[in-house]
Amino acid sequence: MYLYEDASSMGSIENPLLNTTPVIINDIRKLYGLDDPKRLNETIKILEDWVQKQPHLIKKDFSQRFYETAIVTCKGSVERVKKQIDLLCTMKTMVPKFFSRYNVKVELQAILKKVWIIPLPHMSDDYYRLVLFKTFNNDLTPEELLQFFQYILILADYIRNNDYVHGYILIIDYRDLNLFNLITRLTSPDVQPFLNILVKGYGGRMKNLHFITDSKAIEILVSTVKQLLSEKVGQRIQVHKTLEDLYEIVPRDVLPEEYGGKQKSYYKMQAEWVDELSSKKHVEHLKMMYKAGTDESKRHTEKFNEEYMGMPGSFRNLTVD
């Protein structure tokens, strides 16, 4: 069966939070040669057979949608998809604390008071999903930082299961905040494994990262962030002192009304996202997917590949392209 053969089941009516249309789905498929149903089905079958042959992978019945979105995030490379699946499942076993909460509204209340992460309802013209980080207080305790990571991974799983995108454009609003608080938090040993999960496990391919701030400390922050990313991705970081500067790069119309755009208030967007991520349907989905770990005693190779897995203790560049 070809996933969304006419793309009708992913139309904008299905999910007003994302507004993914049949045209968008078909255009993205064409980018990676997935618009041929036969070729896509053959690729998915290869991955299904591969998973069945991996004794250490606990879950064997991933959905076709899971495979298709993995193929998209890996630009059509079957071998990259295999590594992505293996890494995501392995990290669920190796660092389970990132996958220990399911209900945003009930279990992540502390971080919701300080940071909002809002995927905007309309993509860029080249099909990148814009994600707004609205920060009210970045002086996070270790527990709040963990909740921040957990929230993003819950959101990432939702996006993988419900959206169809080429990648992401991040807009991080740090106006009127003490950036040194954030710089200090980036030294946490949890940062690297979290980024590995997000980038390598969920395929978070980033086109641009936009900081909005006029703080003089932004140079230190950008330098610190670049140490966590590859040189190629680091060059995609841009700093804007004002919203007017941002408008020169990001279409104003797609932004919330508080940012001078034509979309609804980010207060309403945030409330809708929290409700959706806390829905019974999504919570049950998370519980199922978070169990998709590994039995390391059954892994073919005895030596754990630290370079590939990037566990705590390593400080490796991440390429999200």
Q: What is the pLDDT of residues 265-280, one digit of tens each?
A: 999 999 999 999 999 9
Give the Cα separation of 171 and 149 in Å (integer): 17
Q: What percent of the chain has pLDDT over 70?
A: 89
Domain with CATH 3.40.525.10 in the chain: 101-280
Helix (H, G, I), strand (E, B) or coil at 234: helix
Q: Which H helix or E strand runs over 283?
A: helix 280-290
Q: Which two tokens stand for residue 185?
A: 């938090």
Read off the pTM.
0.90
The answer, yes or no, to whether residue 316 has pLDDT greater than 90, is no
Give the Cα separation of 282 and 105 in Å (integer): 12
CATH superfamily membership of 101-280: CRAL-TRIO lipid binding domain (3.40.525.10)
Q: Which H helix or E strand runs over 43?
A: helix 37-52
**What rounded mean pLDDT belongs to the chain?**
89
The answer, yes or no, to whether residue 208 has pLDDT greater than 50, is yes
